[in-house]
Chain A
């Protein structure tokens, strides 16, 4: 696959991660657009990119930190908006929709560091060392954040009385 093809193929995942961080479709797509424009600028200057996906997530993470984080903070201080998440389409199964709502609310209650690690590992499927490089922390830090994120989210889901384990498929 060409470099452009690989970038193109990563756009849905970038949109998913951006939305998970910002919880707003328009804001998320603006962040993705910033990220892609920056990526195209870099490619024009130097087309030698080794691993496209971690590289794109690094650009996105840096943009998020430098420009977008404040938006997210504003949003999360409004508690009900985060929990009610009108943007998430309600699926045919009410149980699934409730679990999804709880999961997203649980994600909101993690620290930002934990949330990022959990999403990059569990959802985006990036290697631990790739996540470490994206977030510019040692791998050991990634692993300890991952432990805390997983256990905290699990505890939250237990508390909602809708633990994932009891889910009926």
Chain B
């Protein structure tokens, strides 16, 4: 049985113990081990050892993953970091002013510095972060599906303390697949997920805002791109994946939401 051209080597023994040989080579190694009991004992020992190591460490697989390691949580932290780095220079200016003007005057400047990011920028980043976490999830992008549309709208209205329109985007080729309520640092928000039937997803992010109105701004975070704006104290973010422009869609959505409100 043993192939005279390819004698059984140490590497074959490991691959045998690890179950990584094709059937032909496995037969070669088995024949070789039959003829060498000491070697067979050694290789069987390796196999037992691997099993014992897996068992000894299996408790780590059974432990629940701590929330600090959930990807959604880490994505949010990334978004916050990204935001902070975008506005790090005003922060530096504010810090310099603290040193120059003294603490009493300076704290006011810091408070203002943190607001400089602008509501729409923050809104857009929240929308992009929510899109990145949920829209790409094939199994559970939404809490409530379109079959329970009334329940979904009631849930969103209750949490946002506002009556929210769920826009119909079928003319643009998108079908509502559902939505969910989300938490952000300034309060509750809602996300509606639409699908184009070919795996392409866009999300509409909704959040009550302090400002009455703000012009549309482009948003880009990682692979998520879109637009954010404010109308009638409601913030909107429409986000898609990749480079395809959804500017037209965002414009028609804005018009549709204005006409309904």
Contacts and interface: CB of A to CB of B under 8 A. Distances in A.
A7 to B, nearest CB: 6
Contacts of B42: 151, 154
Interface stretch (A11-19, A51-59, A69-77): A11-19
A37 B69 contact: no
Contact of A167 (B52, B59, B137): B52
A12 B74 contact: no
B71 A154 contact: no
A160 to B, nearest CB: 12
A3 B139 CA distance: 13
Contacts of B71: 4, 7-8, 36, 40
Contacts of B55: 96, 100
A121 B17 CA distance: 11
Given A5-B138, A13-B61, A122-B50, A29 B66 contact: yes
A89 interface: yes
B213 to A, nearest CB: 31
A103 B61 contact: no
B64 to A, nearest CB: 9
A147 B11 CA distance: 9
B138 A2 contact: yes
B252 interface: no
B46 A103 contact: no
Most chain B C-beta atoms within 10 Å of own C-beta, residue among A4, A32, A103, A154: A4
- B interface, size bucket: 35 or more
A20 B49 contact: no
Given A12-B61, A33-B69, A40 B74 contact: yes
Interface string B33-67: 00000000010111011101111110111010110
A34 to B, nearest CB: 10
Contacts of A33: 68-69, 74
A60 interface: no
A164 B223 contact: no
A5 B56 contact: no
A85 to B, nearest CB: 10
A107 B50 CA distance: 12
A104 interface: yes
A8 B56 CA distance: 23
B10 interface: yes
A103 B53 contact: yes
A137 B101 CA distance: 57
B60 A12 contact: yes
Nearest to B82: A44
B212 interface: no
Interface in B1-53: 10-11, 14-15, 18, 20, 42, 44-46, 48-50, 52-53
B11 A103 contact: no
B75 interface: yes
Interface of B: 10-11, 14-15, 18, 20, 42, 44-46, 48-50, 52-57, 59-61, 63, 65-66, 68-69, 71, 74-75, 77-78, 133, 136-139, 221-223
Closest 4 pairs between A and B when the two form their complex, measured CB to CB: A44-B222, A16-B60, A122-B50, A100-B56
15 contacts: A2-B138, A5-B137, A32-B69, A99-B56, A100-B52, A100-B55, A103-B56, A104-B56, A128-B14, A128-B15, A143-B10, A147-B10, A151-B42, A154-B42, A164-B45
